[in-house]
Structure 1
Amino acid sequence: MVTSRQPRDVAQILLSVLFLAIMIIACLWIVRPFILGFAWAGTVVVATWPLLLRLQKLLFGRRTLAVLVMTLLLFLVFIIPIALLVNSLVDTSGPVIRGITSGEMTVPDLAWLNSIPLVGAKLYSGWHSLLEMGGSAIMAKVRPYVGTTTTWFIAQAANIGHFMMHCTLMLLFSALLYWRGEQVAHGVRHFATRLAGTRGDAAVLLAAQAVRAVALGVVVTALVQAVLGGIGLAITGVPYATILTVIMILTCLIQLGPLLVLIPCIIWLYWSGDTTWGTVLLVWSCVVGTMDNVIRPMLIRMGADLPLILILSGVIGGLIAFGMIGLFIGPVLLAVTWRLFSAWVHEIPAPATDPDVVLHELEDKNKQ
C-alpha cells in the first residue's frame, strides 16, 4: 500500500517562523534596558554562589538572612567603590579635558632634563631642536585626536546615571537570583536540554565554570590588586591617584599587573626627593604585585586558565561595546564562548601529528 505524502504548507511554516521571530524580537526589545544588569548579576551570582551556601549554613540554614548579607556585601564591597571611583575620575579629569579641547595645551619645556648628570644638557637641547623643527605644529595636529579620544573615554565614565542604574539592577537581580538560584539554574538547564539534549546541559555547566573562573580568577583579583595599589598611591601622596587606580584596574584585567603603574610612581617619588614615601611605596608594591599568586588560588582551585589575548580582547571590546560594565562582562562572554568552542572541538580525536601520513591515507582512498 502506497501512502501519499501530504504537501507541506509553506505559507504556514513561513508565517509561523515570522510570528515567532517577531515575538522574540519584541520581547528582547522590551527587556533591553535590563539585559546588561541581569548579565552582570548572573555573573556575580554564579561566581559567589558557594559563598552564599556557606553563609546559609552559618546562619542556621536561613536563606533570607544569607541573601540579605550577600546583597549588603555587594553594595559595600563592589558598588560603592566603583561608583566613587568613576565619580572621582570625572571630577579629576575635567580640567584636563578643558585644557585639551580649548587649545590651551602646549608642548612642555622639560627644563628638568638639565638636572640629569652627563646627558641632561644634550637631551634638553635635542628636545628644543625638535620643537624648532615643528614640534608645536605636530602637537597642533595631534591635539584634536587626543581631545576626541580622551573625551570619548571620559564620556564612558561620565555616564554615571546609566552606570548607577545598572548597579541598582544588578543588586536587585542578584538578590532575586540568590533567593531562587536553584530554580533558575534548573530552568536554564531544562531549556538547554530541550534545545540540544545532553550536549546542551553540558554546555550550560561549562559556561558556569567559565564564568566563575573569569569572575573570581581575573576580575576580583584585578580589583583587589588595583584598590590596594590605589590606597598605597593615596597614602604616599602621588598625584592623580584615582586616575592611576583606574589604569591599574585595566592593566590587572589584561594580566599586565599593577607594577606597570606603581614602578613609575616609585621612580617619581625618589626623583622628587621623597625617599621615605618612595621606600614605603616600593615595599607596598612588592606586596601588591605578588598578591595575585596568593589570591587567585584561594578564589578558585584550578585558576583561570585562559589565553591572554582572550582577556585583553574581552576587556577592550567590552569597554567599547558596553562602557564600564563591559570591563567585567566582556571577558566573561568571550571566556564562555571559548570554553564551549574548545569542548566542541575536543569531542573528536585530534588529527595525526605527521601531515605526510594524512596525505598518504587520502591518496590511498582516492586510488580505491
Structure 2
Amino acid sequence: MAEHLKQPKTLISILFTVLIILGATVVLSPFLLAILWAGIIATAFWPLHCRIRSKLPGRPNLSAFTTTLVVALLLVGPMIGLFAFMVTDILELLTFLRTADQKGIPTPKWLVQVPVFGDLLAVTWKKYLSIPRQISGLLRDTLSQPLGLVQRTASVLVLDFFGRVATLFFALWVLFFFYRDGSALTVRMNRIGTEWLGPRWKPYVSHMPPALRAAVNGLVIVSFAEAVVLSVLFYYCGVFAPVILGTATALIAFIPMAAPALLGILGMVLILSGHGAEAIVLMSAGMLIVMVADYLVRPLLIQGGTHLPFLAVLFGVFGGVITMGIVGLIIGPVLLVLLVVFFDEASHPPQEESPALP
C-alpha cells in the first residue's frame, strides 16, 4: 500500500519542481541573457577575483566591486573605444555618399581593371555615384513606401543597439553579486549537483570553468585584439573605413580562408589605385597577423582549455551563434566539451565491485 502511495507522491513532487522552474524561467526571461553573460564573465575572470579578494580580506563588497570595475575597464572600455572609431568611419562614409549625391564622383579608372567584376562595378558606380541626386532619389523611392526598408532597418538597428547596451550594463550589475556571493553559490550548486547526479557531477563541473575561460580567451579576446591590430594596419596603409574593415576581417576569420581572401581583395584595390607599396605591407603584415592569431594563438588557447579538435570548436562556434545568437559563441564550444565528457563517461562505465574474499 505504501509503495502505491509513494509513486503518485513522487510524480506530484517532480511536477511541482518542474512548474517552479518553468515559472521562474518565464519571470526571468527578460534578464536571462544578461545573467548568462554575467555568469560567463564571472567564471572566466574568477582567478582574477580570487587574487583581488586575497588583497582585500574580510571586505567582500569592496573586492567584488573592484573586480567588476577591472573587468569593465578591460572589456567595456576597449569596446567603447572601438565603437567610437567605427562611428568615425561611418561618418566618413556618409560624407562620401553626400558628396556623391550632391556633386557626383567620377568612376575611378582602376575599377574597370578589377578581374571578373570590373565592368559591372564600373557601371554600378557610374549609375549611382557619378550622377548627382541618384542616391537621394533611391532613398526617396524607398522611403515613399509604407515602412520603407531604410526606416525599418534604422529602427531595428537603433533598438538593437540600445537593447545590447542595457543588457551589458545589467550584466555588469549582476556580475558584482556573482563575485560577492560566488563562493556560497558554488558550494550550494555543488551540493545540489552531487545530490542529483552523484559521482557524475564532478567530471562535468570540473570541465566547465576551463572551457569557459578558453572560449572567452580564444574567441572574444583574440578576436578583439585582432580587430584592433588590423584596424591600425589598415589605417596606416590608407584603406577606406579601416576600423569597420578591420573588425569585419577579424569577425570572418572564423571561416577558413575568408580573412586572407578579404586581405587579398583590399591589396588588389590598393595596387590598382596606385599604392603598390602599401598593398605589399597590408597583405604581408595582414597575413602574418591572421595566421598568428587564428592558426596559432586561438587554437592553443581553445584546445588547451577544452581538449577539443579545432574543427569541433568551429562547429561549436557556428552552431552556437546560429541557434543562440552572440552568446552561442561561448556556449557552443562549452556544450561540445560536455558532450565529449559524456562520451568519455559512456565509454568507461564504472566497474562492478568484486565480491569480497572470505
User: With structure 1 as the length reference, what TM-score do the two structures score?
Assistant: 0.67
- Which residue type is aligned with residue 342 of structure 1? V
- Match in the other structure for 2:129: none
Q: For each residue in 1:35-78, what CA deviation from the matched residue of structure 2 results, as whole angstroms up to 9, or x when unmatched?
A: 11121121112122223334555x47687665444323322332
> Does residue 40 of structure 1 match 2:19?
no
Q: 1:91 to 1:234 in 2, by over 3 A?
A: closer
- Which residue type is aligned with residue 171 of structure 2? M
> Does residue 26 of structure 1 match 2:33?
no
SS of residue in 1 equivalent to 2:5: coil
Q: Provide the C-alpha distance between the structure 2 equivalents of 1:9 and 1:82, rounded to a whole number of angstroms.
A: 56
* Per-residue deviation, 1:274: 2.8
Q: Given the alignment, which residue of 72, 77, 85 partners 1:75? A: 72
Q: Provide the C-alpha distance between the structure 2 equivalents of 1:56 and 1:72, rounded to a whole number of angstroms.
A: 13
* Per-residue deviation, 1:82: 3.2
Give yes or no for contact 2:111–2:122 (8 Å, CA) kept in 1. Answer: no
SS of residue in 2 equivalent to 1:273: coil
Q: Provide the C-alpha distance between the structure 2 equivalents of 1:254 and 1:13, rounded to a whole number of angstroms.
A: 50
Q: 1:14 to 1:49 in 2, by over 3 A?
A: closer
> Does residue 183 of structure 1 match 2:184?
yes
Q: 1:334 to 1:125 in 2, by over 3 A?
A: closer
Give yes or no for contact 1:89–1:242 (8 Å, CA) kept in 2. Answer: yes
* Per-residue deviation, 1:236: 3.3
Alignment of 1:172-251 (within 5 A): 172-251=173-252
Structure 2, unmatched stretches of 5+, are 95-100, 124-137, 143-147, 349-358
Q: 1:148 to 1:83 in 2, by over 3 A?
A: farther
Q: Provide the C-alpha distance between the structure 2 equivalents of 1:294 and 1:205, rounded to a whole number of angstroms.
A: 26
- Which residue type is aligned with residue 228 of structure 1? V
Q: For each residue in 1:54-113, what CA deviation from the matched residue of structure 2 results, as whole angstroms up to 9, or x when unmatched?
A: 4555x476876654443233223322343465577688669999xxxxxx9xxxx97746
* Per-residue deviation, 1:12: 5.8
Q: Provide the C-alpha distance between the structure 2 equivalents of 1:266 and 1:226, rounded to a whole number of angstroms.
A: 17
Provide the aligned length of Structure 1 versus Structure 2.
Answer: 315
Q: 1:110 to 1:168 in 2, by over 3 A?
A: same
Q: 1:301 to 1:11 in 2, by over 3 A?
A: closer
Q: Provide the C-alpha distance between the structure 2 equivalents of 1:24 and 1:282, rounded to a whole number of angstroms.
A: 53
Q: Provide the C-alpha distance between the structure 2 equivalents of 1:60 and 1:126, rounded to a whole number of angstroms.
A: 62
SS of residue in 2 equivalent to 1:162: helix
Query: CA RMSD of the aligned region, Å?
Result: 4.5
Q: For each residue in 1:209-243, what CA deviation from the matched residue of structure 2 results, as whole angstroms up to 9, or x when unmatched?
A: 32122111222211211222123223433223343
User: With structure 2 as the length reference, what TM-score do the two structures score?
Assistant: 0.68
Alignment of 1:1-368 (within 5 A): 5=2, 7-8=4-5, 16-56=13-53, 59=55, 67-83=64-80, 85=82, 112=109, 116=113, 124=119, 155=156, 159-254=160-255, 258-282=259-283, 284-292=285-293, 295-296=297-298, 302=304, 304=306, 305=308, 306=310, 307=312, 308-319=314-325, 326=326, 329-349=327-347
Q: Provide the C-alpha distance between the structure 1 equivalents of 2:234 and 2:20, rounded to a whole number of angstroms.
A: 53
Q: 1:150 to 1:295 in 2, by over 3 A?
A: farther
Q: Provide the C-alpha distance between the structure 2 equivalents of 1:246 and 1:167, rounded to a whole number of angstroms.
A: 20
Q: 1:34 to 1:298 in 2, by over 3 A?
A: same
Q: 1:278 to 1:158 in 2, by over 3 A?
A: farther
Q: 1:254 to 1:279 in 2, by over 3 A?
A: closer
* Per-residue deviation, 1:157: 7.2
Q: For each residue in 1:13-33, what CA deviation from the matched residue of structure 2 results, as whole angstroms up to 9, or x when unmatched?
A: 665544433322221122222
SS of residue in 2 equivalent to 1:8: helix
